[in-house]
């Protein structure tokens, strides 16, 4: 046999692709050519594959007078990374006639070491899901990635340690050597990796609501934000608990559904940040010196940024005005559309970014503007410059603004020992999310939250009686609310009503939503 075809896979941006790996062998001076837009890591696989084949007990391609061509299709998709080593080695062995098996039902992913061991790779979870969609029977992956890959139901996942192990398991040849190996009981029998079970364990939150002294209005804002997926702005002097409240907000979010677990873990797998299985919403807190690309995503070959890594979770931006101006302004699109579009000459990559933004800041550069005891040392020019860093369009997209004032030192020794505010808040949030799921069950996206409602959906699904709407319109005129802000007040009011288990929005819900609307310094 001089031709063979097996299947590998890779991700481009976050999109998974099955890649056909073809091998053709002909007589002639030795050459080993890779075609199909391979990058440097794929090009170097020639030497890794040749050494791995030799250590697996076969004659190395370099020892034969053969012209070898490996084609990676589709040819217009740039191939990146070392995950094609395993399928390239198997395609060569099939074409050379050293082994024989039906490659159609399988997908192979893995990097090879020089001695033939299979090393772990990134971005495996979406690749396994894509193999299932393409009706493949099984995937062969590195052992260290097997538990991650086994999250996807309905497809067999084999964790393999070496090229020799894969070959021995798949090879259908019945030559003398294989018969002797079988006779002495040394054949390799691989078993599919057991399906990984998704178990949610809330555990004890590292930062809980009860650990924050006072600040009841801000805690209430955090609960509303968690219940409806709303963005929050926290302002206050240093050390008043802004960071603790942001982390506590993440601890009261509902656990991820199974489909969300696959989605979120797939993103982190591609980004190389997946260490343990994520069953709770992610919490990302990039430093204010982070670059534009690291937050939004992009690069020559677009990669997800922090906004995408926070998908289905919390994006906490401390010292919000200190971030680069274009970083702040770039958040407009994901805050509105829940997606980031990164355009390049070769096309556009879409990264999901459905996060809850928590923006924390000091009231001024020195942090003591409005403090009852400590005088602010900022000049009027510095104060105005600091405030201008927050543009109107961004402030308009933040649903809840809350000021966290100074805490008396005597309050620090007090602690609620009778119950857990975090547990009570989490129960309320879960009930409110359940009410939203029931309300949106007949829409195209039943898993949306109140913050995702469009103006048309607000009219259809969140009706207001004449008295409530009159109150809201009068307040909107007095506060000079924009149409966007007006609709966001209705969304927040609907969330407050859900927390109160009220079927309709009443005036108290609207008035509470309005008190969080205006930005306070």
Domain boundary among the residues 376, 409, 440 is at 440
Please indicate, yes or no, whether residues 260 and 156 belong to a single structural domain of this protein: no
Average pLDDT over all residues of the chain: 87
Average pLDDT over every residue of 216-220: 90
Please indicate, yes or no, whether residues 369 and 274 belong to a single structural domain of this protein: yes
pLDDT digits (tens, 9 = 90+) for 143-184: 999 999 999 999 999 999 999 999 999 987 645 444 344 433
Please indicate, yes or no, whether residues 172 and 215 belong to a single structural domain of this protein: no
Q: What is the structure's pLDDT at 186? A: 47
Please indicate, yes or no, whether residues 216 and 177 belong to a single structural domain of this protein: no
pLDDT at 4 over 90: yes
Kindly report whether the peptide bond that precedes residue 430 is cis, defined as omega within 30 degrees of 0: no
Helix axes 421-439, 483-499, angle to 10 degrees: 110
Please indicate, yes or no, whether residues 215 and 355 belong to a single structural domain of this protein: yes
Please indicate, yes or no, whether residues 239 and 344 belong to a single structural domain of this protein: yes
Q: What is the structure's pLDDT at 347? A: 72
Domain boundary among the residues 440, 462, 479 is at 440
pLDDT at 48 over 90: yes
Please indicate, yes or no, whether residues 9 and 124 belong to a single structural domain of this protein: yes
pLDDT at 380 over 50: yes
Please indicate, yes or no, whether residues 177 and 216 belong to a single structural domain of this protein: no
What's the rounded Cα separation, in Å, for the pair 478 and 456? 25
- Which of 124-133, 145-154, 180-189, 356-365 is least confident? 180-189
Question: 62 Cβ partners below 8 Å, 6+ apart?
Answer: 30, 32, 50
Q: What is the structure's pLDDT at 13? A: 83
> Are the C-beta atoms of 291 and 322 separated by less than 8 Å?
no
Task: Kindly report the CATH number assigned to the domain that includes residue 142.
Answer: 3.30.230.10
Query: Considering the domain boundaries, does residue 258 fall inside one?
Result: yes
Domain boundary among the residues 425, 440, 455 is at 440
Phi/psi for 71 (5° steps) reads -110, 130
**CA quadruple 63, 64, 66, 70: dihedral, nearest 10:** -50
Q: What is the structure's pLDDT at 409? A: 62
29 vs 220, more confident: 220
Query: Considering the domain boundaries, does residue 498 fall inside one?
Result: no
Question: 302 Cβ partners below 8 Å, 6+ apart?
Answer: 13, 342, 344, 349, 351
Task: Please state, as a whole number, how many other Cβ atoms lie within 10 Å of the Cβ of residue 187.
Answer: 12
Structure pTM? 0.87
pLDDT digits (tens, 9 = 90+) for 247-256: 999 999 999 9
The boundaries of the domain holding residue 35 are 3-183
Average pLDDT over every residue of 5-27: 93
pLDDT at 138 over 80: yes
Average pLDDT over every residue of 281-287: 94
- Which of 39-53, 137-151, 411-425, 443-457 is least confident? 411-425
Pairing outcome for strands 15-27 and 3-12: antiparallel
Question: 22 Cβ partners below 8 Å, 6+ apart?
Answer: 3, 4, 5, 70, 71, 72, 73, 91
Please indicate, yes or no, whether residues 269 and 138 belong to a single structural domain of this protein: no
Give the pLDDT band (50/70/90) at residue 289: very high
Helix (H, G, I), strand (E, B) or coil at 425: helix
Average pLDDT over every residue of 357-380: 87
Query: Considering the domain boundaries, does residue 476 fall inside one?
Result: no
Please indicate, yes or no, whether residues 176 and 213 belong to a single structural domain of this protein: no
Instruction: Tally the residues of the chain.
Output: 521
Please indicate, yes or no, whether residues 106 and 217 belong to a single structural domain of this protein: no
Q: What is the structure's pLDDT at 182? A: 42
368 CA to centre of own chain: 36
What's the rounded Cα separation, in Å, for the pair 255 and 276? 15
Query: Considering the domain boundaries, does residue 324 fall inside one?
Result: yes
Kindly report whether the peptide bond that precedes residue 74 is cis, defined as omega within 30 degrees of 0: yes
- Which of 62-71, 349-358, 364-373, 498-507 is least confident? 364-373
pLDDT at 361 over 60: yes
> Are the C-beta atoms of 333 and 339 separated by less than 8 Å?
yes
What DSSP letter does each residue of 162-185 carry, written as one string? BHHHHHHHH-----HHHHHHHHTT
Q: What is the structure's pLDDT at 517? A: 83
Structural domains counted in the chain: 2
Average pLDDT over every residue of 232-248: 90
Give all strands (DSSP E) within 118-260, no chain letters: 118-119, 138-142, 156-160, 232-235
Task: Kindly report the CATH number assigned to the domain that includes residue 393.
Answer: 3.40.50.300
> Are the C-beta atoms of 145 and 120 separated by less than 8 Å?
yes
Query: Considering the domain boundaries, does residue 480 fall inside one?
Result: no
Query: Considering the domain boundaries, does residue 141 fall inside one?
Result: yes
Task: Please state, as a whole number, how many other Cβ atoms lie within 10 Å of the Cβ of residue 412.
Answer: 10
pLDDT digits (tens, 9 = 90+) for 263-282: 999 999 998 888 888 889 99
Query: Considering the domain boundaries, does residue 95 fall inside one?
Result: yes
What's the rounded Cα separation, in Å, for the pair 242 and 87? 50
pLDDT at 448 over 70: yes
Give the pLDDT band (50/70/90) at residue 384: confident
> Are the C-beta atoms of 262 and 129 separated by less than 8 Å?
yes
Helix (H, G, I), strand (E, B) or coil at 141: strand
Give the pLDDT band (50/70/90) at residue 446: confident
154 CA to centre of own chain: 23
Average pLDDT over every residue of 93-109: 93
What's the rounded Cα separation, in Å, for the pair 26 and 68? 7
Given CA atoms 362, 368, 370, 372 in this order, what sign does their dihedral have?
positive
Tokens (6 digits) for 136: 């493949």
pLDDT at 201 over 70: no
Please indicate, yes or no, whether residues 216 and 174 belong to a single structural domain of this protein: no
Query: Considering the domain boundaries, does residue 459 fall inside one?
Result: no
Q: What is the structure's pLDDT at 344? A: 75
Find the distance separating the first CA and the last CA of the chain, reported in whole Å: 76
Vertex 61: Cα angle to 58 and 64 (nearest 5): 100
Q: What is the structure's pLDDT at 408? A: 64
pLDDT digits (tens, 9 = 90+) for 397-442: 999 999 988 776 666 666 655 558 888 999 999 999 999 999 998 8
Strand order in the sheet with 31-35: 3-12, 15-27, 66-73, 31-35
């Amino acid at each position: 046999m001089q031709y063979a075809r097996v299947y590998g896979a890779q991700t481009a941006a976050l999109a998974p692709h099955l890649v056909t790996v073809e091998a053709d062998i002909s007589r002639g001076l030795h050459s080993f050519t890779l075609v199909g837009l391979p990058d440097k890591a794929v090009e170097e696989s020639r030497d890794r594959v040749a050494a791995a084949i030799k250590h697996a007990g076969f004659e190395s391609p370099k020892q034969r007078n053969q012209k070898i061509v490996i084609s990676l299709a589709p040819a217009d998709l740039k191939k990146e990374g070392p995950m094609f080593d395993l399928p390239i080695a198997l395609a060569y062995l099939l074409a050379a006639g050293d082994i024989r098996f039906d490659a159609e039902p399988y997908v192979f992913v893995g990097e090879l070491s020089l001695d033939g061991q299979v090393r772990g790779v990134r971005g495996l979870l979406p690749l396994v899901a894509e193999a299932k969609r393409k009706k493949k029977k099984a995937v062969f992956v590195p052992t260290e990635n097997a538990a991650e890959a086994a999250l996807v139901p309905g497809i067999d996942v084999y964790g393999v340690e070496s090229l020799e192990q894969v070959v021995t398991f798949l090879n259908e040849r019945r030559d003398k050597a294989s018969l002797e190996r079988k006779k002495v009981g040394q054949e390799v029998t691989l078993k599919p990796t057991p399906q990984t079970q998704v178990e949610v364990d809330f555990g004890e939150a590292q930062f809980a609501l009860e650990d924050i002294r006072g600040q009841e209005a801000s805690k209430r804002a955090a609960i509303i934000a968690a219940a409806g997926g709303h963005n929050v702005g926290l302002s206050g002097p240093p050390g008043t608990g802004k960071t603790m409240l942001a982390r506590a907000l993440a601890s009261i979010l509902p656990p991820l559904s199974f489909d969300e677990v696959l989605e979120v873990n797939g993103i982190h797998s591609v980004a190389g940040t997946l260490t343990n299985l994520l069953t709770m919403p992610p919490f990302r807190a990039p430093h204010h010196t982070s670059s534009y690309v690291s937050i939004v995503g992009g690069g020559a070959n677009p990669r997800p940024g922090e906004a995408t890594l926070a998908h289905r979770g919390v994006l906490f931006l401390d010292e919000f005005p200190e971030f680069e101006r274009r970083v702040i302004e770039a958040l407009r699109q994901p805050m509105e559309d829940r997606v980031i579009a990164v355009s390049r000459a070769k096309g556009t990559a879409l990264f999901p970014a459905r996060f809850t933004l928590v923006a924390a800041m000091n009231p001024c550069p020195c942090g003591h503007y409005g403090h009852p005891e400590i005088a602010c040392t900022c000049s009027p020019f510095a104060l105005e410059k600091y405030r201008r860093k927050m543009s109107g369009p961004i402030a308009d997209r933040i649903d809840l603004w809350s000021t966290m004032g100074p805490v008396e030192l005597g309050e620090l020794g007090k602690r609620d020992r009778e119950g857990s505010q975090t547990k009570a808040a989490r129960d309320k949030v879960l009930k409110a999310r359940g009410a939203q799921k029931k309300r949106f069950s007949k829409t195209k996206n039943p898993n949306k939250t109140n913050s995702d409602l469009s103006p048309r959906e607000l009219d259809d699904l969140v009706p207001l009686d004449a008295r409530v709407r009159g109150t809201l319109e009068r307040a909107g005129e007095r506060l000079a609310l924009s149409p966007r802000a007006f609709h966001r007040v209705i969304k927040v009011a609907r969330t407050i009503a859900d927390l109160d288990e009220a079927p309709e929005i009443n005036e108290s819900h609207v008035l509470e939503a309005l008190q969080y609307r205006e930005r306070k310094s």
